[in-house]
Structures are given as C-alpha cells and as structure tokens.
Structure 1
Amino acid sequence: MSVPNSHRIRFTSSINGRDYLISVAVPLVPPPAQGYPVLYLFDPHFMFGTAVDAARMSAPEVMVVGVGYPLDDADFVSRTVNAVKDRLPDAFREMPQQTLAIWALRTHDLTLPATAEDRRRGTAAGVAALAASLSGGLDTFLDVVDREVKPRVAAVAPVDASRAALFGHSLGGLAVLHALFTRPESFGHFIAASPSIWAAPALWTEETAFGQRIASAPHAPAVMLAVGGREQDRVGASSKMIDNMREMARRLRAIERAGPPMQVVDVVFADEDHGSVQQASVSRAIDFAFRGARR
C-alpha cells in the first residue's frame, strides 16, 4: 500500500553518476510558518512506512524523506547485481535479486574505505573482500544528500532547514556518525541506530577531531545513539555493537562537558536485536529530534 500524500523522485546524480529514488511524505497538516521540519533517513526500503506512521502519530508536522534507490525497476536491480555477481560467494547467489542489490548499493554508499580485515568481523564468511572492494562511497553520497536531495525536497513543499534531522541504522548509523563528525552543520539532530562502528575504525579518530572542531563553536548538534539489548548475543559478540555504542556515547559526553551545549542521548532497547530495533529507534528518533525528548 502506498503512503498517502507522498511523492517519489528518481534522478541520476551528477556527483557520483548513481541512480537514486527519494521518497517524500508530506504531512497531512498545513506547513508551519517556517516550513516543515524534516527527518531524512537512509534505507527507506526498510523503514519509510514505519517512520511516516510514527511521525504522523506523534509529530504530524514533520516531513519524512527517505534516500534510497529505484528498487522497483527490474533493469536497475539486474544491472546492480550483475556488477558483483561473479564475485559473490555461493551462499549469496541464492538470495533474491533485490536483496543482493540493496546489499551492494548500501555497502558502497554508506561506508568509508575499508580493508577486508575491517569488514571481516561483522560480515558473512567469504564476503569480506568483496565488501571492502565496494566500500568507500560515503563522502560523495553525503554530497548527493546535501547538494541534490535537499533542493529536490524543498521543491516539493516548504521546509525549515534549521529543523532537519538525519537518521540511519546499521551501516546507515555509521554514515550518520561520519556526517556528524565531518559536516556537523548539515543537520541539527543526528540519530545513529545500531551504528556499525566495527566497520569503520576511522570513526574514533574522526570523533577526536570533531571534539576539537566544535570546542569553540557557539552551539553543537544534538546526538542520539541507540542499540538493541540483544545485539551482542552469540554471533554478534565480535562486532561489539553495545560496547562500541556506549564508548562512543561516553566520548561524546566528554565533548559535551568541555565544549558548547550539546545534547547527547544513548538508549539500549531491551530484548531487541539488530533487526527489530529499527522500529523502536526510528520512533524514538522522532520524539528526540522534534519533541525534545531526553529519555
């Protein structure tokens, strides 16, 4: 079922030459005088509908924007899979074409350059080298968001650029942290759910530089980190999802104490795993970014 009062915008980026599909859910209420606040989220194929439902329930003036891919285009999906199929391990070859396309696309766009060793810890056996070879498109992807997605969204309905939040889960959470550390002025709120910090050791160095960068700034963005309480169980132990999130929150709070006012919230959702935490975290993200919740 389609999302009421929503728009789909397909375009080929002039920055990286890749095809994207923007999903825009315009609120069912008139815009505030300054325009609609906006929640931008990665991986809309997983959670766009959930995010829209949560916003319309608790923050009905919020526009939800998903930055994804034209996955309903069979030719696009086929081209994406064909580019990597000769390097796929046998276990991956049985996956649906769309699932493979999503994996390849986000492995490129939502990651920093990585080695096979970087990707081995949290990646399926036999695919670390391929994942490493695809990695590294995040900076140009964030340029696409800033320079090509945002203007297209503003052409759909009036927006309040001062009230924009960025949400990402898993590799998307990694991407949110990198955006926070390297372009903190691009959003007012950054929400990283289950961030795959294990896949980007450079984030720890970036966090240090970020602290130095904003030490004398008049203000700093608000940050929320979230993770599921079961994400470090059994096979997830090596990725240290909970430990890494807590350590990142600790470091950000140290910046908060030493620098400008900076809201930092971290949440562990009990009994949720890496998949199920998406719904809980996107709902809390809307509360955090647009209703001022600190819990």
Structure 2
Amino acid sequence: MYQHYPTRKEIFTSSTCGDYQLFIAWPDEPAPEQGWPVIYLLDGEVHFPVAETLMRTLARPRCCMTPGVVVAIGYLEGTLRERDYRPAVAQRVPEPNPRGGYYPSGLAGQSEAFLAFIQHELKPYIRQAFSVDPRREALFGHSYGGLFTLNTLFTCRHAFQHYYASSPSVWWNEGYINEIATDFLQAEVTEELSAAPVLFLSVGEWEQSLERWELALPEVQREALRQHRRQRRMVDGVRELSWRLQAADRDKLDVSLFIHAGQSHQSVPLLSLQQAFMHHFQR
C-alpha cells in the first residue's frame, strides 16, 4: 500500500530573483506536535518525480522513513541555475575545452541573492502553508546545485541542519569552493546550534574516467572525454575536500563521504537523493 501524498505545482515570485516553479508534496495526515521535517531540492523539475516516489514508497508504516514535506525549486522555462547556484566572484576563470578554446563562462553567479530568497521568502511561505519543524530542514543539490549547497554551508551554516551535496562542482573557477572551505574551517563558531550540521558528500565512481560503454566511442571523442574529466578531478576533488572537513572539530561539522560504485555524473543523483531522504527522514 502506498502512502497518499498530495502534490501541487505553483509559481512563486521572488521580490529579487524573479519567478520560480515550485513542486510541493506533503503528508495527508495530521502533523506531529513539532511539525514535519522538510527538505528543499534544487533542480526541482528533475528531482521532484524521484522525491515524490520516495515519499510514497518509503514513508509508510513499517518503512524506514517518517513522513515529511518536500519543496522542489525549479524554473518556468529554461534555467538560471548558473546565476542562482554559483557564487559571485571578482574574476571568472574560463575552463579549457579539450576540443580547443574555452567553455562559455555562462551567467554571472548570484547565489547570495538566491539563498536570501530561500531564507527570507520561500521558507516563511512554506512555514505558513504547512506545519514544518524549523529544526529539521535540509538542502539537496547536484553538480552546480551541490556547489550551492556547500557554499551555503560554509557561509551560512545555520540555514539548514542537513546538507546533501551530490557531485558538487569543486573544480569550478579553479577550485573556488576550497577557498571558502578554508575560511569556514578557520573561522570561530559564534552561533550556538543544537547540533553540528551534517554534510553528506557524494560522487560517482566514473566521474573522473571513462565508463565501459564509452570505450566504443570514436577515439577523438574518447580522448576529449578523458581530458575533460581529468581536468575536473571530480572524484579526487570531492574526496580531498571531505578529508579536510573531516579533520575539523566534529562540534563544527559532521561529514560523510560516499563514492557510488558504477555511477556517472548523470546517474549518481538518483542514489544520492535516496540516501539523503533515508537519512533526513529517518525514523
């Protein structure tokens, strides 16, 4: 028997960031006294169908998850994820294209404004519409969304209790996020939290090399893929960042690393999302 989870799709207009498409799912039953746990998902149009299925199948009696609220943030048409998920930097460093030249730099980042939208516009709206527990809030992002998740943790650690960064773009702008991590690790903790934030870092085994099926591609294409993945160092970059963070005081941050065997950059968020849900909504 599946749990009944009503869903709705609506347009939310931010006073500073423009229009977003929200996808929301919530339990069709009375909330506990403390309210429901809630998770906010980036790239909502991609991840919400999976999230909804997870809640319907695993947040049932005798299953591993407790019911909760899912808020997925997407776009009406096209995408502004480069603008919303990447930090503002003084200088954007172009990334070499193995086929020659450089990849387009894309939109300038404004992640500080996007975080302000979530904190000061979206969260109050969700708290008014649903009975949620502000002490059990989580953020999930993949790729550039994972970069945003890490940057939020390092610059505003009290924003969420659980952070799930799937294949974060640690390579971006010559490893910019590692500089922010250094500032985070060296900074004194000033705010008192009931518990240290939890960070799940995840990456796919094949994000830094070719997958087996790709060996059948033409040689020129294979070599371009090899060089592209080697220069991004997704697996090494995420692993090395996790080691640095794990060496910090556990009162400051609780970090776990997951390298998912046999997964690529495209396939790994399905596993990372399930892992995030089973942790955040655990009974």
TM tier, shorter chain? 0.7 to 0.9
Contact 2:203 2:238 in 1 (8 A): yes
Equivalent in 126, 130, 134 of residue 153 of structure 1: 126
User: What's the Cα RMSD here?
Assistant: 2.4
Distance in 1 between residues matched to 2:264 and 2:30, nearest whole Å: 37
Q: Which amino acid aligns with 1:30?
A: P
Alignment of 1:108-147 (within 5 A): 108-113=83-88, 118-121=93-96, 128-131=103-106, 134-147=107-120
Alpha-carbon distance, 1:239 to partner: 0.8
| More deviation, 117-126/248-257 | 117-126
Residues 256 and 264 of structure 1 are in contact (CA less than 8 Å); yes or no, is this contact kept in structure 2?
Answer: no
**Is the 1:166–1:189 contact (alpha carbons within 8 Å) kept by the matching residues of 2?**
yes
Letter aligned with residue 50 of structure 2 = T
The structure that is helix-richer by fraction is 1
* 1:203 maps onto 2:208 in alignment: no
Runs of 4+ with deviation above 6 angstroms: 122-127
Aligned length, in residue pairs: 254
- TM-score, length basis structure 2: 0.82
Distance verdict in 2 for CA 1:205–1:28, change over 3 Å:
same
Amino acid at match of 1:107: E
State the AA in 1 paired with 2:271. Answer: A
Match of 1:106 in 2: 81
Q: Is 2:226 aligned against 1:245? A: no
Distance 1:25 1:179, change over 3 A: same
Check conservation: 1:117, 1:128, Cα contact below 8 A. no
- Indicate the SS of the match to 2:137: strand
Q: Is the 8 A contact 2:167 2:265 kept in 1?
A: yes
> Are the aligned partners of 1:109 and 1:137 in contact in 2 as well (CA < 8 Å)?
yes
Distance 2:56 2:180 in 1: 35
Aligned positions of 1:257-272 closer than 5 A: 257=250, 260=251, 262-272=253-263
Please show how residues 1-295 of structure 1 align to structure 2 within 5 Å.
Answer: 4-16=5-17, 18-58=18-58, 59-71=65-77, 101-102=78-79, 105-113=80-88, 118-121=93-96, 128-131=103-106, 134-200=107-173, 201-215=175-189, 218=192, 219-233=195-209, 234=226, 235-257=228-250, 260=251, 262-291=253-282
- 1:57 Cα shift? 2.8
Letter matched to residue 5 of structure 1: P
Shift of 1:39: 0.8
Q: Which residue identity lines up with residue 15 of structure 1 in the other structure?
A: T
Partner AA of 1:252 in structure 2? L
Give the superposition deviation at 1:107. Answer: 1.2
Equivalent residue of 2:206, what SS? coil
Secondary structure of 1:23's counterpart equals strand
Judged with a 3 Å threshold, the aligned counterparts in structure 2 of structure 1 residues 31 and 121 are, in CA distance, closer, same or farther, namely farther
- Write the letter of the residue equivalent to 1:64: V
Identical pairs, percent: 33
CA contact (8 A) 2:34 2:132 kept: yes
CA distance in 2, matches of 1:117, 1:15: 23
C-alpha distance 69-117 of structure 1, shift in aligned 2 (>3 A): closer
Give 3-state SS (helix, strand or coil) of 1:255's partner: coil
Deviation per residue, 1:29-55 (Å, 9 max, x gap)? 431211110010100111111012223
- State the Cα distance separating 1:150 from its structure 2 match: 0.7
When normalised by structure 1's length, the TM-score is 0.79
- Say whether the 8 Å CA contact 1:172–1:192 is kept in structure 2: yes
Structure 1 residues 174-183 or 56-65, which shifts more?
56-65
- Indicate if the aligned counterparts of 2:94 and 2:105 stay in contact, CA closer than 8 A: no
Deviation of 1:157 after TM superposition, in Å, equals 1.2
The structure-2 alpha-carbon separation of the partners of 1:205 and 1:32, relative to structure 1 and needing over 3 Å to count, comes to: same
Q: Letter of the 2:185 partner, please give it.
A: G
